Amino acid sequence: MLVSCLLKPALADDLDHRAWDALLARYVYLEGRVDYPGLKEDSLPKLDAYLALLAAPWPGEMTPDAKKAALINAYNALTVRWIIGRLPVASIQATREPFTSARHRLNGERWSLDQVEQRLRETGDPRIHAAVVCAARSCPPLRGEAYVAARLDQQLDDNTRKWLANPALHQFDSATRVARVSPILKWYMADFGGEDGLRAFLAKHAPADQAGFLARAGARIEYQDYDWGLNQADAAAPAYPRWRLYLDVVRNHRFFPAAVVISAGLVGWPVSRRLRRRKSSRPARRGR
């Protein structure tokens, strides 16, 4: 009863995220993995009804937290719907222009996922990088409940802590004073206030018994590779080898001919920072 009351909009000028909350509770599993086939088979009309709500014009007097919660939910719900429409698929990068095409309707307008994320970045809250989920295994965990204005600060703190505490994505070695963290933190370094700001962010949100050494001289931060394989809960989810990623990079972004990618043997090359995250250097889209 308490959860239902918190999810119900406190004001008329808000959006109702209870349908999305129910879908997340049912189809998001351990570590934020998603049962895409199950959602498609049993609950797709409910997801589409929620997206229809988001597509219509939003209330004009939404609070900043209500807007932020709605944009996070929109990004994640639209991503889930995009994946469901292309199953079986090994990665969101194997689909056509997944982040740059303004194919989605929100608030009565057409948006790309890039534009939704950019609007969230404009809030100045770096914790949004622990909340938006691009359907990759190296993404932060998809939260098993909808974000809502009444509890947004607590939810963002909690998801950030869970993300940083996942040893598959972040390791903090006090013996060597090396932190090996997600490349998301590098791609969006400016959003964290540069390297000093990032260290402070990690010291605040990472496990206190592991990351305390970052405040001492000589501590280093290293960045891991990004796994773009699908964050599907099923253990039989398709593999997504690196060579396939490079071919999809060429198809979607056209940096260089495919022959160059293959002949250069770019194994280990940090191409992933030029994928969804390469837009971090673009100017914000304004005027909506």
Among 109, 116, 2, residue whose Cα is nearest residue 69: 116
Mean pLDDT, all residues of the chain: 87
Whether residue 86 has pLDDT greater than 80: yes
d(CA 87, CA 108): 27
- Residue at 71: amino acid letter: L
Task: For residue 182, give both structure tokens.
Answer: 């997600």
pLDDT in tens, 10-21: 456 899 999 999
How large a percentage of the chain has pLDDT more than 90? 74
pLDDT in tens, 225-283: 999 999 999 876 788 999 999 899 888 765 544 443 443 334 343 444 445 444 444 43
Which residues are registered as beta bridge partners of 111? 104
Where do the DSSP E strands lie in the chain? 104-106, 109-111, 171-173, 178-181, 220-223
Where do the DSSP E strands lie in 100-205? 104-106, 109-111, 171-173, 178-181
Domain boundaries, the chain: 2-169+272-281
Residue 239's pLDDT is: 85
Find all residues with CB under 8 Å of 269, minimum gap 6, and list them.
Answer: none
**pLDDT, average across residues 110-118:** 98
**pLDDT, average across residues 180-188:** 97
3-class DSSP assignment, residue 201: helix
Among 59, 80, 223, 221, residue whose Cα is nearest residue 142: 80
**Residue, of 239 and 94, whose pLDDT is higher:** 94
Whether residue 70 has pLDDT greater than 90: yes
Q: Would you say 92 and 134 are in contact if contact means Cβ atoms under 8 Å apart?
A: yes
- Residue at 9: amino acid letter: P
Q: How confident is the model at residue 176 (pLDDT cuts 50, 70, 90)?
A: very high
d(CA 21, CA 286): 30
Half-sphere exposure of 263 (CA within 13 A, CB side): 5
Task: For residue 114, give both structure tokens.
Answer: 């890039």
Please tell me whether the peptide bond between 88 and the residue prior to it is cis, using omega within 30 degrees of 0.
yes
Whether residue 102 has pLDDT greater than 80: yes
Residue 238's pLDDT is: 80
Sign of the torsion angle spanned by Cα atoms 258, 261, 262, 264: positive
Whether residue 288 has pLDDT greater than 50: no
d(CA 238, CA 231): 10
pLDDT in tens, 145-156: 999 999 999 999
